[in-house]
């Protein structure tokens, strides 16, 4: 199984986009997305220095645009490639790249959202002097406990022995003086405490914009930063993109889901390297490919061919099916129906948002919801069956039957 991943802020380097301009179509796409983002993405990706592209309002649109441009160069005909990709995920702002890549939102919607996300997060960061520090090594539970002692947030739990602490500069200074046992601290050159309560004003702006976004259900499994869950509802993808601005990134759980899915190959879009590095340490046995320059495209396509799952069209998650699917958000056991509620059997009429069951794991219990409503056609699992992330559980006709 192949998973595509998109990096977050901090992965960009001066001039990284320059070689991609030689690929047919890339310059034209960047010109269009520059108009949407109200930024000269070509300039910032080819000529601007490190200080310029460190600016949150510039870095975030640049990252999303570069990832989408490279993905379209790798997969010129996305509709044919959806069946080859098993899952997709993005780290922090990379979630917007992934959301557009799987068809949950358009590239233009992604560029509008990332433009406003970057501006709003930069404005929120200017209110209080905040920053972030990488905590490397140590026992994860002890590290999180130590951060709590200093009122810091574990903003990124990246797995592979890496947790990023975020908060005020005074709180981070106190952590430097009292570090977790067995851990090394490395200050990060960032503009603020991202993915914490300090970003709440940015969430309000994103919520306002999200109301106008047309979302579609992802064509392949979309793995969410919030909890590593597979999300199949386009509406929920957008809502999670909004709330994630002020909530921790659980990349460790995303990689755990990849392991449960049986991923054999992980390909990272530009500016690549960060997430493949984490995967090499946290996902032993999984092959990785960091796509950095266009001269790697042929090798990347060979990597895709090696790890892709060729599935019949009927087994994919279509955007306009004759039925809808309810899928498992994570691995666990399935419970058909809701205790005390009406039986969810074939022929039952469901209103949009109706509860149809639950998936239980050691970590949590998640209620299953029929996002679109309709007529129940069939359960694809039995009560108590073990299920995998993204596994189809229930098939629903999107329109109620008419007598």
**What positions carry a catalytic annotation?**
92, 195
370/384 Cα distance (integer angstroms): 19
CA atoms lying within 13 Å on the CB side of residue 354: 20
CB 38 within 8 A of CB 115: yes
DSSP 180: P
Q: In angstroms, rounded to a whole number, what is the distance separating the alpha carbons of residues 183 and 147?
A: 12
Instruction: List, in sequence order, every residue forming a beta bridge with 360; answer none if it has no partner.
Output: 333, 365
d(CA 75, CA 31): 20
SS3 string, 227-276, reads CCCEECCHHHHHHHHHHHHHCCECHHHHHHHHHHHCCCEEEECCCCCHHH
The two most distant CA atoms of the chain are separated, in Å, by 72
Structure tokens at 204: 């309000």
The Cβ-side half-sphere exposure at 98, using a 13 Å CA radius, reads: 32
CB 266 within 8 A of CB 258: yes
Rg (C-alpha) for the chain, rounded Å, is: 21
Q: Give phi and psi for 371, each to the nearest 5.
A: -55, -45
Q: Which residues pair with 4 in a beta bridge?
A: 88, 267
C-alpha span between 173 and 296 (Å, rounded): 42
Tokens of 54: 């460190």
**Taking the mean position of all CA atoms in its chain, how far away is CA 35?**
25
Residue 343: name the closest of 352, 332, 355 by CA. 355
For residue 391, the 8-state DSSP code is -
């Amino acid at each position: 199984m192949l998973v595509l991943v998109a990096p977050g802020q901090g992965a960009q380097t001066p001039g990284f986009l320059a070689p991609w301009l030689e690929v047919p179509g890339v310059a034209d796409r960047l010109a269009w997305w520059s108009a949407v983002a109200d930024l000269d993405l070509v300039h910032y990706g080819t000529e601007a220095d490190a200080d310029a592209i460190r600016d949150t309002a510039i870095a975030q649109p640049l990252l999303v645009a570069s990832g989408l441009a490279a993905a379209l160069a790798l997969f010129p005909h996305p509709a044919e490639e959806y069946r080859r990709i098993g899952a997709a995920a993005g780290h922090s702002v990379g979630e917007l790249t992934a959301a557009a890549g799987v068809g949950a939102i358009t590239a233009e919607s992604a560029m509008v959202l990332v433009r406003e996300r970057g501006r709003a997060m930069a404005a929120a960061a200017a209110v209080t002097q905040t920053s972030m520090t990488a905590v490397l090594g140590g026992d994860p539970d002890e590290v999180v406990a130590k951060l709590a002692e200093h009122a810091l947030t574990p903003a990124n739990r990246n797995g592979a022995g890496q947790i990023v602490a975020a908060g005020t500069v005074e709180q981070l200074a106190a952590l430097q003086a009292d570090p977790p046992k067995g851990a090394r601290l490395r200050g990060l050159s960032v503009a603020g405490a991202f993915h914490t309560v300090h970003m709440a004003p940015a969430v309000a702006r994103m919520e306002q914009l999200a109301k106008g976004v047309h979302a579609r259900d992802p064509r392949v499994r979309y793995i969410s930063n919030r909890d590593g869950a597979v999300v199949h509802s386009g509406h929920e993808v957008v809502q999670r993109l909004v709330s994630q601005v002020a909530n921790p990134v659980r990349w460790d759980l995303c990689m755990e889901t990849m392991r449960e899915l049986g991923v054999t190959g992980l390909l990272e879009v530009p500016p690549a390297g960060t997430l493949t590095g984490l995967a090499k340490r946290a996902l032993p046995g999984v092959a990785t490919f960091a796509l950095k320059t266009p001269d790697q495209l042929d090798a990347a396509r060979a990597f895709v061919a090696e790890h892709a799952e060729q599935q019949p069209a009927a087994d994919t998650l279509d955007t306009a099916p004759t039925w809808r699917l309810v899928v498992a958000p994570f691995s666990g056991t399935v419970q058909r129906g809701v205790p005390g509620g009406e039986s969810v059997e074939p022929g039952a009429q469901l209103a949009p948002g109706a509860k149809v069951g639950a998936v239980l794991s050691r970590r949590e219990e998640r209620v299953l919801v029929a996002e679109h409503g309709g007529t129940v056609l069939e359960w694809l699992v039995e009560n108590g069956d073990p299920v995998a992330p993204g596994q189809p559980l229930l098939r629903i006709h999107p329109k109620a039957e008419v007598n």
